[in-house]
Every structure is written in C-alpha cells, then in structure tokens.
Structure 1
Amino acid sequence: MSFDHSQESFIPLKGLHNPHLQTVLPRLFRRRISLRPHWQRLDLPDGDFIDLAWSEDPMQARHKPRAVLFHGLEGSFHSPYAHGLLQVWQQRGWLGVVMHFRGCSGVPNRMGRIYHSGETGDASYFLRWLRTTLGHAPTVAVGVSLGGNMLACLLGQQGDDCPLDAAVTVSAPLMLEPCSAKLEQGFSRVYQRYLLSQLKLNARRKLQAWPGTLPVDLLQLNALKRLRDFDDAITARAHGFADAGDYYRRASAMPLLPGIRKPLLIIHAQDDPFMTDEVIPDMARLPANIEYQLTEYGGHVGFVGGTLRRPQMWLEQRIPQWLSPYLDN
C-alpha cells in the first residue's frame, strides 16, 4: 500500500505555528457548513435521549462502512472538526455520524445525568444499537478531546468485546487532573473561561427546562469560577464521584490503555495549550495495536497546514488515511 507521507507528518501553516493560533484557526477556515446532516433522536433505556447527526439517511446507507465521531467538551456537529470530518467521510463513501453527548445538541437532556470524560454508557449503547439496527458493516470511531478520553476508556474497558474495528483519538486529555490544572495557568485561562461559560450556559438551559435535575441552583451555578469548581459541584455529584479529584482519577483513560485490543491511533501535539507532558503515554506500556503520534506543533485540535490561500486541515487527511484499511477493504 502506498502512502502520501505528507499526510502522515504535520507541517503547520507557514509562520502560523503558534499553539493558540493553531487552536483557533479551524474556526476561521471552517465557518461555513456545506453538509446538511440527517438528524435523528435516539431514546435511551433510562428515559433520556441523545441526538445523532448523520452524513446521510442511515437506513438508505446501511451497507456503507461507518465512522462515528465523539465530540469534545460542549462540542457538537457545528464544531469545525465535526462537520469537516463528516463531509470528508461522506466524500469517501463512508456513512458518518456525530453522536451528541446528552444536552450537547442544543436541547437540554431530561435526566440528572449529563456526560463526562469517562462516561462510556451512552456510547456503548449507541454502538450496540448501531449494529442491531443497521446490521453488520465495518465500523470505526474517532474521539476528539473529551470524546477521545471517553473513547479510550471504552476501548480499554471492553477489550476484545468492543464492536469497533479501529479508532482514533485526537488531543485527548488522558490524565484529567494535570489538564485541569493547566487550564488555570497563563493564557490557557482564556480557554477555561470560554469552556466554563459554555458549560454554565448549557446548565442554565437545563435548570430552566428541567428544574431540580442538577445538584446546584442558579445562584450556585453563577458563582462557579473554574472548571474544577464545575466538576466539583456538578459533574462529580451528578455521577456518583466524591469530588472533582475523585472524578479525574477514575475517569482518566491513561491507566486503561494497556487493556486496549483494537487498533488505535493516538494523536497529540507537543504544544497543546490544554495539556501537559503527563498525557504522553509510556511507550513501553502500550500494546502493539496502539500507534502513538506526537507532533511538534498543532495546538488543541488545530493541526492547520497548507498556505493562507489554500489552508489544509491535516486531521481531515490523516484520520481517513489511517482508517482506510479498516473501512475500504
């Protein structure tokens, strides 16, 4: 099999390798959404629901290879990487789908449970439902940021029983505690402020729609100043963790990596402003089925190459190129 090796290594846009620029550039270059997704609501066993954004009507494309995307914290189909990848997958003849975590599609979910970095129950249910409803076909998954940590947890928990043929994680915070601390330092506080404002906005919508479903009221919610405060007051208490520290310990994917049995590509950028070196796995402990790619530049889910006139989203080349042997044979 011949590879275009320029797809394998990442070269940042000339003069724009700064990690913060790399992190925000996709929002500028991927502003227009050209794909019109097919929306579907999937009811869950506990009375809640998740929303699915498909690249086309799944019932008419049930024979096609499948690629599932798990988005990042407060992400959705509208995130640049999500509609970008979905469109590329559609062009390759694959059936793509974004599984929105509870409450992330713009509609508040009904139950007290929301979603978090280690919450694999809904993804596991969805993957089983996918196979039962559409029948067997090659299936892969891509997890981005929080969704990447969640996907790595799922792969590690299920081992050989995981219904996926292969997977990719991008910019995943495999050790949550140091990543949470990093977002309280220097320029990274800008990202913390943005993410916290999105989380609080979503929580406010939920409190208005379903009063009493969150462990805080509006006053307590407004007083939260850090992501760690949010995880202490809401994430941990809504999901049975003692506090944020307990949640970070138990939901980090790093300890589960040795148990992963399916082919997995992990992509990190050395300059990711959300991460520290603690997310870099010990190569000696990784099984042979895990490929690790650490790029010098790329920021957080950035990886913008090419030129200003013709910018290239490297992830939209690298991910399909790596997944192709599992879907196109």
Structure 2
Amino acid sequence: MPLIRESLYRSPSWLPGGHAQTIYPALFRRVPRVTRRAERLELPDGDFIDLEWAEQGNSRLAILSHGLEADLKTGYIQGMAAALVRRGWDVLAWNFRGCGDEPNRLLRMYHSGATEDLQAVVSHALGNHPAESIDLIGFSLGGNLTLKYLGENPTDLPPEVRRAVAFSVPCDLACSSRELATASNRIYMERFLVAMRAKIRAKDRLFPDEVDLTGLADIRTFQEFDDRYTAPIHGFKNAADYWEKNSCRQFLPHITLPTLLVNAANDPFLGPGCYPGEEAASSEFFHFESPATGGHVGFAAFGNGGEYWSETRALEFLGS
C-alpha cells in the first residue's frame, strides 16, 4: 500500500504559495555544471540526441530527463546530478530532440510520450557504461515520459533498470493543459509558448512545405498549439488524442519496479487528475507522495550544502 500519506517536506516560510515556490528556484538557483562529457547519440531515423555524462566508474547509473522547453543544463537536472555523484552514482543527462543548442534534423521533435527516445538512451547507456543497475529520474514532462516508459511495456524493460523517481508530473495531460490555461497561470503559458513558437518557426525554415505559420502568433493555449502542431507532426489526430494516448496515469497500475512520484499539492501546473493516490494505494510498486507545498519542480531547501529536498528525497528512495 505505498500511498505516502504524510510527507516531511515543508517549504521555507519566506516562500509562500505555489507560485513563489515554483518561480524562485527557476530564476535564482545556480548549480555548477556536473555533467561534462558531451556525446551525440545518432538515432536510427537519422536524427540525434545530445547527452552529457558525469562518470567516476560507479556501478549505478542514473538517467535524468528534463521538463517542457528545458534542457540538461537546467538547475534541477544539475542539482540532482550533483546529489547523485556525491552518493556514488554516475549520471547521464540528455536533451530531448530539439532542446539542445542545435535544432534536430527531422520535422518531428520531442513530446510527452516519446518513450522510444528514452529507450534509445537507456540502450545506449547499457552498451557503453559498465553499470550493473540503472535508475531513472524525470521532471514534469520528463517524469511523464519516465512513468509511461515503465508502465507501457513492463515485461520488456532491461533487467538493469531497477528504480525510478519522478517529480511534478502532469499525469493527466488534458487536466494539466486546462490548469495552465487559467488566468492565474498566464505567465507560465506565455513563457512556454514563446519558446514553442520559436521552434515552429525554425521548423518552417527547414521544412517550408510542411509547416504552416498562419495564426501561430495568435495561439494562446496548449490545446491550440497541440491541435495545430504537436498532434499532426507526431501522428495524432488532435490535441485530445495526443493527450489521451500519452498521459502516464493510465500506465501507472502496470509499473513493476519500485517507483516514486512526488507532486506538490500546491503545484500551479497540475489539476486534480494529476494526483494518482488510488493507483498508489492499490499498487505494490508505485509510491505516491504529495507534500502540501513545493510548487512545480521547486522543493527548495536551505542549509544542506545547496541540496534541495527533492534531491535528498530521490536519493533516499533510490538507496532504500
């Protein structure tokens, strides 16, 4: 019955509310770069994924997956990498297609359910690192990707994949999209859309006959963007079809490895469908924890050598 009913996390008193707890780490946290060895993974379809490693010859490897319109340099990735290295893990962080310094080669990009790319990264790690075990850690969109990967074909997972942790995951993509479309979340929505519009304009320069920019500047919600671009580019009928097929919540009951999901109750990105307590209560493997505070990919903590609570919690679970 791994529903964790009491979380020990408490946000600092001077960071009141989910918005402050989300914005402060995103704007002000500075973490030294831990992953330093860069590598490009060529994919069978002619595209590529950029990787970075932190290697000390350890027998445990953690693979880190970032969130929407982020990259492997972001603070929560490098903060987690630092915590892992301190405790004896090697680390592999990766940029989703189109999220690095160079645009990816194909019209397709990354999306919330592109588990074939995570599988390619895992397979590459198994073939090029001596790790005896691999742990997966995902944040937001990368958390949805991680949980979907674990639950969609659980009998096909490599035996070296042992545990997983995910933070701030939009388990129900339709629910999260509606939440982000509310007036109180306009600042986040517009920040995401600025970056996403730029990617579509870049695709238009590379594939002028396959991308229509008409009305792009007027798009104001994920539903409009996913209907117009994400869904047709990646083979889905529309936004609703894309969200339905790629929301990880439907895959959680099928997870067969020890897995922890942490979603703060005051996460401004998440609606009620993103808190899968029922699935955890009926699972032997899937653990769900919902601290009252923390915001979205926040979980700030001070006085612990710069380590955030999310990093401490992840390592506690992975080491148990």
Give the TM-score normalised by the residue count of structure 1.
Answer: 0.88
Matched, 1:292 2:288: yes
Contact 2:259-2:285 at 8 Å conserved across structures: yes
Conservation of the 8 A alpha-carbon contact between 1:19 and 1:273: yes
1:172 is the counterpart of 2:169: yes
In 2, Cα distance between equivalents of 1:272 and 1:303: 10
Between stretches 283-292 and 240-249, larger displacement belongs to 283-292
Give the C-alpha shift of residue 14 in structure 1. Answer: 1.6
Q: Answer yes or no: is the 8 Å Cα contact 1:65–1:94 preserved in 2.
A: yes
Match of 1:229 in 2: 224
Q: 2:54 — aligned with what?
A: 55
Kindly indicate whether the alpha-carbon contact (under 8 Å) linking 2:60 and 2:132 is maintained by their aligned counterparts in 1. yes
> What is the match of residue 3 of structure 2?
none
- The CA RMSD over aligned residues, in Å, is 2.0
* TM-fit CA distance, 1:93: 2.2
Distance 1:233 1:201 in 2: 15
Unaligned runs of 5+ in 2: 1-6
> In structure 1, which of residues 291, 305, 320 is the aligned counterpart of residue 301 of structure 2?
305
The alignment status of 1:130 with 2:125, answered yes or no, reads yes
Partner of 2:78: 83
Amino acid at match of 1:190: I
Deviation at 1:203, TM superposition (A): 2.6
Give unpaired runs (5+ residues) of structure 1: 1-7
Aligned equivalent of 1:273: 268
- The answer to which of 162-171 and 34-43 deviates more is 34-43
The reply on whether 1:38 has 2:34 as its aligned counterpart is no
* Percent identity of equivalent pairs: 34
What is the deviation of 1:218?
3.6
SS of aligned partner of 2:153 = helix
**Which moved further from structure 2: 156-165 or 172-181?**
156-165
Which stretch shifts more, 285-294 or 144-153?
285-294
Cα distance, 1:79 vs structure 2:
1.4
Amino acid at match of 2:260: L
Per the alignment, residue 155 of structure 2 pairs with 160
Aligned residues: 311
> Separation in 2 of the partners of 1:239 and 1:196?
18
Summarize the alignment of residues 96-115 of structure 1 with structure 2, pairs less than 5 Å apart: 96-115=91-110
**CA separation of 1:206 and 1:93: change in aligned 2, threshold 3 A:** farther
- Alpha carbons of 1:312 and 1:87: their partners in 2 closer, same or farther (altered >3 Å)? closer
Q: SS of the residue aligned with 2:224?
A: helix
Secondary structure (helix, strand or coil) at the match of 1:269 reads coil
Deviation at 1:136, TM superposition (A): 4.6
Q: Aligned partners of 2:305 and 2:84: how far apart in 1?
A: 20
Secondary structure at the residue paired with 1:305? coil
Residue of 194, 198, 202 corresponding to 2:191: 194
User: Shift in Å at residue 102 of structure 1?
Assistant: 0.3
Secondary structure of the corresponding residue to residue 295 of structure 1: coil
Partners of 1:48 and 1:134 lie apart in 2 by: 22
Q: 1:12–1:306: 8 Å Cα contact kept in structure 2?
A: no
SS at structure 2 position matched to 1:319: helix
Give the superposition deviation at 1:85. Answer: 0.9
Secondary structure (helix, strand or coil) at the match of 2:69 reads coil
Of 185, 189, 193, the residue aligned with 2:182 is 185
Q: Is the 8 A contact 1:216 1:233 kept in 2?
A: no
State whether residues 257 and 286 of structure 1, in contact with CA within 8 Å, keep that contact through their aligned partners in structure 2: no
- Range with greater deviation from structure 2 (124-133 or 164-173): 124-133
C-alpha contact 2:61 2:131 (8 A) present in aligned 1: no
What per-residue deviation string (whole Å, max 9, x for no partner) do you get for residues 154-175 of structure 1?
1011213323100011111000
